[in-house]
Structure 1
Amino acid sequence: MRQYRSSRISRSPRRAVTAAALAAALLGLSACGSGDDTGSADASGKVEGDITFQTWNLKANFKSYFESLIDDFEQKYPDAKVKWVDQPGEGYADKISADAAAGTLPDVVNVSPDLVAPLAKAGLALDLDKSAGKYEKEYLPGAWKSHQVPGLDGTYAFPWYLNTGPLFYNKRLFKDAGLDADKPPKTYDELFADAEELARKSKGEVATLANVPTIEDFGRYGVPLMNKEGTGFTFNDAKGVELLTEYKKLYDAKALDGQALTATPESTGKKFLTEAVAMNPGSALDLEKFKKDAPRLYANIGITPQISSTGKDNMYVMGVMVNTRTKRTPAAVAFAHFVTDAQRQMSFAKKVAIFPSTKGSLDDPYFTKEDGSDQTRVRIAAAKSLKTAVNYTPVLFSEQMKVELRNAVARALQGKESPKEALDNAVKSCDRLLKQS
């Protein structure tokens, strides 16, 4: 079940160069060392001097927010000055790579976990556990851990905004299949059983799911994805084979949509909109579309949490990294923390459909109190799940690796390889790509 990412401030894989390419570009820098000395610096001095803060395609919609935030910081620390630069979404990894290689990487940088990993390995990302560990208690545990890199000790960015989304389901389709529409599946066993019943009762006309399993789904199912050293993938273990075997059963029973092998978020959304699929992840923006374009669906919409065997939902997380080569470490750390503290994150969350990563923020009435609106219904459901959510996608899992897994899943569903053979081959390919990076 592919998870929702906010379309308003999306960080989906849209960049032209993947994190793997960034890692390759930084190989020379890593020779300089990424050991204990390169990832830490003294952040306890006076907050002063000029620093540069780089964001990722945020200026067009949030110019006044960031200008106000910087003004507030400079009033609090009058001896510090912040220059804000914003880079386009396309080619962001290219820009980071070029700046890192040239020694012109800004002092404070907006990153995602997959982008921070090669920077940490090259010794360019400050280890916050060593230099700013006192702040860890302010953030949700899963969010703080999201910028940790297998094979390295430390945390390499402050967690910033989060996103996730619940599952929508079609109550009418559940009722027509003789299922209790007020009791949607909460476990994978229930999901698989309900999906097969829906397919049987509809004679294969109604599928429950429209997506093949991704690395996030393997994580939610409880599959260990990677070894602790960060040197190899492990999603081909017995638990992983079990999940893919269940999806093969769904595919054969037409409980998994026939076009799932080539599905996109847009195509699966259309399937759900036309009531050809019974369940799909989504957002408040989707609810507004249903209300306008599919009133019968809207009248029968149910909202339920993501299904997980681990008790933890999946989250998408953005971060704010401090460059180890900054000449103003105290100011850079202070500003990175300022951007991501509870007050600033709460303010930002009220301007865009994202969620704070700070402890206690999700208990605010904004995330808990119903007001009858569609947006609030979904916001409350998502906020509840984020309190214990984790980022299942390994920070070292590149876009090329995602393609390898998707192709392996397709071969298994089509019967060209057994689930075990397919996953074994996918792990071999991903391990090879990992060594190349």
Structure 2
Amino acid sequence: MRISRRAVATAAALAVVLPLSACGAGSGGTGAADASGKVEGKITFQTWNLQANFKPYFTGLIAEFEKKYPGTEVKWIDQPAEGYADKISADAAGGTLPDVVNVSPDLVAPLAKAGLALDLDKTAAQYKKEYLPGAWAGHQIPGMEGTYAFPWYLNTGPLFYNKQLFKDAGLDPEKPPTTYDELFAQSLQLAEKSKGEIATLANIPTIEDFGRYGVRLMNDEGTGFAFNEPKGVELLTKYKELYDAKALDPQALTATPESAGKKFLTQAVAMNPGSALDLAKFEKEAPTLYKNIGITEQISSTGKDNMYVMGVMVNARTKQTPAAVAFAHFVTDAQHQMEFAKQVAIFPSTAGSLDDPYFTKEDGTDETRVRIAAAKSLKTAVNYTPVLMSEQMKTELRNSVAKALQGKQSPEEALDNAVKACDKLLKQS
């Protein structure tokens, strides 16, 4: 099961208005600057592709900050998405990065290692209690002490399942699986009852699945991956059983979010991640499916769902540390996160915000149904994706998983090879 595909599907619908990975950095330093001085001076704030759709929100936010702190001036820089990671690298090397920047955990990691991100545990620890623990930990780096960005917006989502397909297989449609053991047992029963015609899942396991299964993903020092440990082999072996029984869709090896969604839409797959936008599509294009839609939490054997977290980082070499820290906190405080969450389908990372009626009170709409289900899971969710795991490493894992499912390698051999490849890439980074 691949919750990340659900998140990708959700993000795709928002991509033109709110990208779910943005980046930035400081330009060097120890990460222990003093933020206790007077909040004043001119700072720069960088976002990624937000100006076209959210200019009034951010200009209002900046004006409010400047009014609260007379003598401050915030220059907002909004960059296009294309080539942005390369630009960040170039700016980091050239010392030209802004004072405050939106970051994703994977992009802040190398910057923090290079001393380019301010350690908030040293300079802004008084704000830690304002955020969800899992969100605050989202920008911590294995092998390093400290936290290198304020948590900003979060994303996650529940699973959709087809109640009628569960009922046809003799399963209780009101009790979908919530743990991997339940998932495996019910998936095999569903495949058997349908004689291999109905798969439960359309996606192969990703690093998030290994995390939610309880696999140790990296060593504590952050110097090597560990998902090939026995529990990881156990998970992949279970998926191999599903694949052989056709409980995992035969096309899962090459599935995309779109193709997996189509499988669910045509009722060839019983479970799939998605968003409120999908519910509207089901109602229009597949009314029979829509009438039988169930919404459940992510599959997890740890008791904690997966979250995707974005943050706001402070340049470790800013000349205006008090102002930069104050503004980064201002952007991400409870009031402003709630305001932003009501403009686009994201979730605040601040403690207590998810108890707001906006995230708890039903109003009969599909959008609210999904929002409430997702918000509930975020209170204890964590970011399972290792911050040191690059897209290239994820591809290595995916290719190895595919070889194991096809029987070209044993699960143990496949994961050993994936860890070796990822460790080699880690040393090169």
TM-score category, normalised to shorter length: over 0.9
Q: Which amino acid aligns with 1:239?
A: K
SS in 1 for 2:250: coil
For 2:234, the equivalent position in structure 1 comes to 242
Provide the C-alpha distance between the structure 2 equivalents of 1:293 and 1:75, rounded to a whole number of angstroms. Answer: 50
Post-superposition offset of 1:127: 0.1
| Partner Cα distance (1:229, 1:271) in 2 | 41
Uncovered stretches (5+) of structure 2, i.e. residues with no partner: none
Determine if the alignment matches structure 1 residue 375 to structure 2 residue 372. no
Is the CA contact 1:14–1:89 (under 8 Å) kept in the aligned structure 2? Answer: no
Aligned length: 422
Matched residue SS, 2:328: helix
Instruction: Tell me which of 96, 106, 114 is aligned to 2:98.
Output: 106
Given candidates 20, 33, 38, the residue that maps to 1:41 is 33
TM-score, normalised with respect to structure 2: 0.96
Tell me which of 262, 267, 271 is aligned to 1:275: 267
| Cα deviation code 1:200-242 (max 9, x no counterpart) | 1111110000000000000000000001100000000010000
Give 1:427's aligned residue. Answer: 419
Going from structure 1 to structure 2, the CA distance change for 1:348 and 1:318 (only over 3 Å counts) comes to same
After TM superposition, give the deviation of residue 187 of structure 1 in Å.
1.4
Instruction: State the distance in 1 between where 2:66 and 2:86 align.
Output: 30
Q: How do 1:127-276 and structure 2 match up within 5 A?
A: 127-276=119-268
Contact 2:21/2:310, CA 8 A, preserved across alignment: no
Report deviation, 1:325. 1.0
Q: Does 1:395 align with 2:395?
A: no
Contact 1:160–1:317, Cα closer than 8 Å, also in 2: yes
Percent identity over the alignment is 80
Say whether residues 1:292 and 2:288 are aligned partners: no
Question: Structure 1: which amino acid aligns with 2:388?
Answer: L
Residue 327 of structure 1 pairs with residue 319 of structure 2? yes
Matched, 1:308 2:261: no
Structure 1 distance, partners of 2:181, 2:296, is: 16
The residue aligned with 2:335 is: 343
Judge which range, 192-201 or 352-361, deviates more. Answer: 192-201
- 2-structure distance, mates of 1:218, 1:347: 34
Using the alignment, how far apart are the partners of 1:307 and 1:67 within structure 2?
A: 40
Deviation at 1:13, TM superposition (A): 8.8
Pick aligned residue for 1:414 from 406, 409, 414: 406
Task: Name the stretch that deviates more: 247-256 or 264-273.
Answer: 264-273
User: How far apart are the structure 2 equivalents of 1:149 and 1:285?
Assistant: 34
Which consecutive residues of structure 1, in runs of 5 or more, have no partner in the other structure?
Answer: none
* Secondary structure of 1:65's aligned partner: helix
Q: 2:356 aligns with which of 355, 358, 364?
A: 364
1:116 pairs with 2:108 = yes
- How big is the alpha-carbon RMSD for the aligned residues of Structure 1 and Structure 2? 1.7
1:82 and 1:152 map into 2 onto residues whose CA distance is 31
- Give the alignment's TM-score, normalised by structure 1: 0.94
Kept in 2, the 8 Å contact 1:14–1:90? The answer is: no
1:9, CA displacement in angstroms? Answer: 3.6
Q: SS of the residue aligned with 2:110?
A: helix
For 1:282 and 1:307, locate their aligned partners in 2 and report how far apart those are by CA, in whole Å: 14
Cα deviation code 1:291-314 (max 9, x no counterpart): 111111100000000011111100
Offset of residue 172 of structure 1? 0.8
Question: Does structure 2 conserve the Cα–Cα contact (< 8 Å) formed by 1:220 and 1:312?
Answer: yes
Q: Counterpart of 1:85 in 2: which secondary structure? A: strand
Report the Cα distance in structure 2 between the residues aligned to 1:187 and 1:51, rounded to whole angstroms.
47
- Residue by residue over 1:49-101, the C-alpha shift from the partner in whole angstroms, topping out at 9 and shown as x without a partner, is 00000001111111111011001101101110000011112222112111111
CA distance in 2 between partners of 1:198 and 1:132 (Å): 52
1:50-61, aligned counterparts within 5 Å?
50-61=42-53
Q: Which runs of structure 1 show a deviation greater than 6 angstroms over 4 or more consecutive aligned residues?
A: 11-15
